[in-house]
Amino acid sequence: MGAVSIYIASKHAVEGLTKSVALEFARQNIRVNAVAPGVIATDMFQRFAGGEMGDQITSMIPVGRKGVAAEIASAVLYLCSDEAKFTIGTSLIIDGGWVAQ
């Protein structure tokens, strides 16, 4: 099994765990959700896919750019707020439209 397979399997595991734990604790008013960021402009991304490869990946994002950490932080703040008190067991995808393709 290659690294990509393991990575994808771990993403599916997070989805399943988020849903099952959310259902387990929903009646106790404990909200469980996940945040699924896409390509974010970080040092890690630069190390992984700097230069031409990074440019290629970025060009495939529908909004035409990498996300920034503040955009992910805003989503987390939303999920922690009272505005999200009916949001349970979901993954908030913040990826500039990548999954929508």
| Interval 36-84: pLDDT, tens | 999 999 998 888 887 888 889 999 999 999 999 999 999 999 999 999 9
Query: What pLDDT was estimated at residue 91?
Result: 97
Strand partners, 94: 37
The residue annotated as part of the active site, out of 1, 3, 5, 7, is 7
Domains of the chain in sequence order = 3-94 (3.40.50.720)
Q: What are the DSSP calls for 7-51, one per residue?
A: HHHHHHHHHHHHHHHHHHHGGGT----EEEE-SB--HHHHHHH-H
Query: What pLDDT was estimated at residue 88?
Result: 98
Active site residue 78: no
For all residues of the chain together, what is the average pLDDT? 94
- As a whole number, mean pLDDT of residues 15-42 equals 97
Give the model's confidence band at 16: pLDDT under 50 very low, under 70 low, under 90 confident, else very high: very high
Query: What pLDDT was estimated at residue 54?
Result: 87
* Helix, strand, or coil (residue 58): helix
